[in-house]
């Protein structure tokens, strides 16, 4: 019967698509790794890798095995963490978050939750909305702070925390700075900064659709994953951008914010708590997060 060690070995080989690199990653020699994968295939009764002198891709059986192996390893880690937490009297919440929450909202939620509920360990990781949805499916996190909209997914729970909007971010001294509000069409012809679509398809599509409704396609000169990085590039004069209103209270130097006006001008920025497995711990976290997000500072965001 395959064990966790073999699962880890196969995951490394599948992710690296190279026995040499996988062996280096696992700190072991290559021949024993090759033998272990061959024995695993014999036990499964099917080839998991398409290979000759090198690995080309996973077979359908290999892709299925990889998905289940990742889930099994994640569950094993979760089981160990739960046992250790129970032994120490502490609980653990694996929480992911988008970068726009890190400077204001998330710290307040964490502080309030610890004050209210005492001993708790957070395993925190920053990730995109798309990355968090995948991590939830694979049981690598318990909950995530994601940006809506997302495609309907069976078994996914979402609770709205912040219902804000996107604001125009301009470099200080920009010719449009004199306007208190801007119409989206005024940004036609400007160099744009935007995040790659696969990091947040829902929000990316909202922005592109709003620009199309305003009669133009944004001329994207630079992509960046993090909203705070985009704000920094705006400050450097690289271009203009739409960023969450949640960033405005930070007042990043060199950046001027302006709200949008006009028909269908509002581009919503909706932050939600997402999870797949309800629990008492997640329910308490949701209550705390919604209470903090209901503060006037975030309702106005």
Show me where the domains of the chain are located.
Answer: 4-71, 91-301
Rounded Cα distance between 257 and 301, Å, is 12
- 4-71 maps to which CATH number? 1.10.10.10
Query: What is the pLDDT tens value at each position of the chain, 301 positions in all?
Result: 788 999 999 999 999 999 999 999 999 999 999 999 999 999 999 999 998 888 988 999 998 999 889 888 887 887 887 777 667 666 789 999 998 888 789 999 999 998 888 778 888 999 999 899 999 998 889 999 999 999 888 899 999 999 989 999 999 999 999 999 999 999 999 999 999 998 888 899 999 999 999 999 999 999 998 888 899 999 999 999 999 988 887 788 999 999 999 876 789 999 999 999 999 999 999 999 999 998 866 654 4
Q: How far is CA 82 from the centre of its chain?
A: 24
Q: Which two tokens stand for residue 134?
A: 């995948």
- CA angle at 298 for the pair 296 and 301, rounded to the nearest 5°: 110
Place of tokens 């064990």: 3
Among 246, 276, 279, smallest CA distance to 108 is for: 246
Q: Are 88 and 80 in contact (CB under 8 A)?
A: no
pTM of the model: 0.68
Compute the Cα dihedral for 35, 40, 43, 44 and give only its sign.
negative
Q: Among 3.30.450.20, 3.40.30.10, 2.60.40.1930, 3.40.190.290, what is the CATH number of 91-301?
A: 3.40.190.290
Cβ burial, residue 158 (10 Å; 0-12/13-18/19+): middle
């Amino acid at each position: 019967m395959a064990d966790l060690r073999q699962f880890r070995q196969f995951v490394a080989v599948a992710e690296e698509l190279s026995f040499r690199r996988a062996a280096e990653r696992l700190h072991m020699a290559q021949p024993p790794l090759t033998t272990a994968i061959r024995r695993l295939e014999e036990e499964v009764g099917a080839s998991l890798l398409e290979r000759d002198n090198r690995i080309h891709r996973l077979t359908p059986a290999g892709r299925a095995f990889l998905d289940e192996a990742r889930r099994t390893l994640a569950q094993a880690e979760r089981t160990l963490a739960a046992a250790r937490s129970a032994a120490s009297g502490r609980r653990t919440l694996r929480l992911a978050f988008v970068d726009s929450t890190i400077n204001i909202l998330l710290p307040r939620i964490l502080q309030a939750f610890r004050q209210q509920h005492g001993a708790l360990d957070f395993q925190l990781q920053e990730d995109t909305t798309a990355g968090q949805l995948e991590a939830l499916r694979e049981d690598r996190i318990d909950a995530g702070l994601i940006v809506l909209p997302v495609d309907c997914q069976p078994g996914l729970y979402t609770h709205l925390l912040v219902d804000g909007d996107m604001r125009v971010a301009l470099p200080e001294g920009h010719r449009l700075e004199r306007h208190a509000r801007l119409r989206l069409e005024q940004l036609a012809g400007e160099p744009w900064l935007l995040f790659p679509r696969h990091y947040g398809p829902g929000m990316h599509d909202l922005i592109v659709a709003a620009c199309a409704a305003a009669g133009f396609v944004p001329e994207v000169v630079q992509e960046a994953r993090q909203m705070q990085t985009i704000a920094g590039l705006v400050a450097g004069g690289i271009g203009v951008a739409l960023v969450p209103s949640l960033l405005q209270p930070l007042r990043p130097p060199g950046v001027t914010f302006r709200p949008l006006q006009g028909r269908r001008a509002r581009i919503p920025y909706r932050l939600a708590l997402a999870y797949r497995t309800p629990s008492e711990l997640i329910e308490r976290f949701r209550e705390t997060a919604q209470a903090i997000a209901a503060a006037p500072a975030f309702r106005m965001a």
